[in-house]
């Protein structure tokens, strides 16, 4: 085996190192065990470069002959190290962007060093071309780090529109294939007239266009996300206004009942003093029948009790039995609005899911209690039809497209208290466990 030719082939394939860096830089927050993944990538790329360089040296192959199996193998390895929340389309998009950057480096180095390559009789490029390619790759990686990496990480973290990724990834993939197709087979052609200048300008302009396209995608997605966030906040404000109205109604009813109760006491006292026992019995019987129509208290805390009473009444209207176990103190160690927001959204989702079942299968259980002076636990479980809408491992609403507003509100409150939110589904029972650190 010719060591010099082997070394040139190895440097030709060494473009996989900056390519791997570009992929991992964008996906760093989404890979499993990032440092271990980086080590696996370094070892894997080195092995691929050595094996491919040896095969090309022995059989005198063009380095592009093994390009397709290398691309498929590296993409599979990248998917293997991704978290479940990263979709195939997202991985393919960032992988294709990396391929475009490396294709640009290969094409530019071949064009800029065409005069030396014109005298190269071998199937592998010259050492000077490989070194120029690595310099161009280093420059692009630096530019990539301060621009596209930031945009890509934001898109992966904040933007969940799968349709966007599915429509976006074919464009850079096709462009990377086109750049490889434009690689000159005969370097002498590049030296004719002004072909070199035109080719360099064309590739540079197209590279600028790729960066501009990525920036526009980032900007549009950010604006769309901001608008969606405002819509969610408006919906949350509407929900909070409804909760406030319910509490005000409860307080007004309580004040009215307290006032009426004083009048009843006056009547009872008057009948007792007059010795009219039969009239007193009749009055008490009538008053008892009126009280029996009023619901019993479900929680010591007035705000939570009002909220529970509202949903308990809704559940009765839709023939959904609710089992309440609200062991909360009169004074809560957190704002009542936060707890009512979480509990209200959980109950609303549970009752909505119950409506999809026959009346005899409906059942909701609600538990909330102080686990310690600084820890509050909430469990809401309900029977459901077994149908869940998930996308990229994220639970979506069954009422409308996208992530449920109620679920987003619950997650926001949980994060506020550095708590945890766990969702379990088993035997057609949907259970939400919330733990808050107060």
pLDDT (tens digit per residue) in 287-297? 666 655 556 77
- The predicted-structure confidence for 182-194, as pLDDT tens digits, reads as follows 888 888 888 887 8
* pTM, entire model: 0.60
More confident residue, 250 or 125: 125
N-terminal to C-terminal alpha carbon distance within the chain: 69
pLDDT in tens, 329-349: 988 888 887 888 888 889 988
Residue 221 CB partners (closer than 8 Å, separation 6+): 155, 158, 159, 161, 164
Where along the chain do the CATH 3.30.565.10 domains lie? 297-437
The pLDDT value given to residue 49: 92
Distance CA 244, CA 260 (A): 24
Q: Is the pLDDT of residue 235 over 70?
A: no
List pLDDT tens digits, range 201-210: 988 888 888 8
Edge to edge, the sheet with strand 429-437 lists 322-327, 364-372, 375-383, 429-437, 420-426
Predicted pLDDT of residue 279: 78
**Distance, CA of 228 to CA of 222 (rounded, Å):** 10
Nearest to 352 by CA among 287, 397, 416, 306: 397
Tens of pLDDT, residues 25-42: 998 988 989 999 999 999
297-437 maps to which CATH number? 3.30.565.10
Burial of 380 per CB tally in 10 Å (0-12, 13-18, 19+): buried
What is the three-state SS of 124-186? CCCHHHHHHHHHHHHHHHHHHHHCHHHHHHHHHHHCCCHHHHHHHCHHHHHHHHHHHHCCCCC
At 56, give phi and psi (nearest 5°). Answer: -65, -35
Mean pLDDT of 233-253: 68
């Amino acid at each position: 085996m010719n060591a010099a030719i082997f070394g040139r082939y190895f440097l030709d394939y060494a473009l996989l190192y900056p390519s791997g860096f570009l992929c991992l830089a964008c996906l760093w927050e989404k890979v499993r065990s990032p440092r271990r993944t980086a080590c696996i990538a370094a070892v894997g790329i080195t092995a691929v470069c050595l094996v491919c360089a040896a095969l090309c040296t022995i059989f005198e192959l063009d380095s592009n002959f093994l390009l397709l199996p290398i691309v498929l193998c590296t993409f599979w390895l990248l998917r293997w190290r991704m978290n479940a929340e990263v979709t195939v389309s997202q991985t393919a998009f960032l992988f294709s962007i990396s391929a475009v950057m490396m294709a640009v480096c290969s094409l530019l180095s071949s064009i800029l060093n065409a005069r030396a390559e014109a005298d190269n009789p071998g199937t592998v490029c010259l050492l000077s071309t490989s070194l120029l390619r690595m310099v161009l790759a280093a420059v692009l990686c630096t530019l990539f780090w301060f621009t596209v990496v930031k945009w890509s990480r934001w898109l992966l973290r904040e933007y969940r529109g799968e349709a966007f990724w599915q429509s976006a990834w074919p464009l850079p993939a096709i462009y990377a294939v086109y750049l490889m197709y434009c690689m000159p087979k005969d370097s002498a052609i590049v030296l004719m007239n002004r072909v070199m200048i035109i080719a360099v300008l064309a590739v540079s302009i197209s590279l600028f266009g790729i960066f501009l396209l990525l920036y526009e995608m980032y900007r549009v997605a950010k604006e769309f996300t901001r608008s969606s966030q405002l819509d969610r906040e408006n919906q949350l404000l509407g929900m909070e206004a409804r909760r406030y109205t319910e509490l005000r109604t409860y307080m007004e009813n309580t004040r009215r009942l307290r006032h009426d109760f004083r009048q009843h006491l006056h009547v009872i006292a008057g009948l007792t003093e007059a010795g009219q026992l039969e009239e007193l019995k009749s009055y008490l019987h009538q008053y008892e029948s009126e009280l029996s129509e009023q619901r019993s208290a479900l929680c010591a805390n007035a705000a939570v009790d009002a909220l529970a009473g509202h949903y308990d009444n809704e559940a009765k209207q839709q023939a959904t039995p609710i089992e309440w176990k609200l062991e909360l103190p009169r004074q809560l160690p957190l704002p009542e609005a936060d707890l009512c927001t979480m509990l209200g959204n959980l109950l609303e989702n549970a009752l909505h899911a119950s409506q999809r079942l026959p009346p005899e299968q409906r059942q909701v259980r609600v538990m909330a209690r102080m686990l310690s002076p600084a820890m509050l636990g909430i469990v809401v479980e309900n029977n459901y039809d077994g149908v869940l809408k998930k996308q990229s491992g994220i639970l979506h609403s069954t009422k409308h497209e996208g992530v449920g507003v109620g679920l987003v509100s619950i997650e926001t409150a949980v994060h506020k208290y550095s708590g945890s939110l766990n969702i379990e589904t088993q035997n057609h029972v949907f259970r939400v466990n919330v733990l808050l650190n107060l």
